């Protein structure tokens, strides 16, 4: 493994989300001889026509009861409800501070 490959692996472990993956080895620019060909028979390519099989639609929305966020350390998770609670508390505190500032300005 070259030093460049080792550095790329370390970046992946540290959370780098780049789309390039480290080269697994081999000659640069070398490709297998049959890389562009497929040998799948036509019978294997046709989709299943079983009437009893149906796949449930995958929902992109997470279950609110199980929703979590990743902590800053990248290792732990926090329930999403805690984030919502912190946001509500911040909004309440900001509203109270603004009311106090308005009252103070009125007394001057």
What would the pLDDT profile of 29-51 be if each residue is shown by its tens digit?
Answer: 555 555 555 555 555 556 555 55
Between 102 and 8, residue with greater pLDDT: 102
How far apart CA 86 and CA 91 sit, in angstroms, is 9
| Least confident range of 2-11, 22-31, 59-68 | 22-31
Residue 16, pLDDT score? 47
Mean pLDDT over 52-81 rounds to: 77
Q: Does residue 64 contact residue 80 with C-beta atoms inside 8 Å?
A: yes
CA of residue 37 relative to chain centroid, distance: 33
Give Cβ neighbours of residue 71 (< 8 Å, ≥ 6 apart): 77, 78
Alpha-carbon distance values, 96 to 11, 49, 70, 102 (Å): 45, 63, 30, 10
């Amino acid at each position: 493994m070259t030093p460049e490959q080792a550095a790329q692996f370390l970046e992946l472990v540290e959370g780098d989300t780049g789309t390039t993956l480290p080269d697994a080895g081999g000659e640069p620019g070398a490709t297998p001889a049959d890389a562009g060909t497929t040998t799948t028979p036509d019978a294997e390519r046709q989709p299943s026509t079983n009437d009893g099989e149906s796949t449930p639609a995958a929902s992109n929305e997470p279950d609110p009861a199980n929703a979590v966020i990743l902590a800053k350390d990248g290792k732990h998770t926090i329930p999403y409800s805690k984030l919502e609670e912190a946001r509500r508390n911040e909004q309440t505190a900001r509203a109270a501070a603004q009311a106090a500032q308005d009252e103070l300005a009125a007394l001057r």
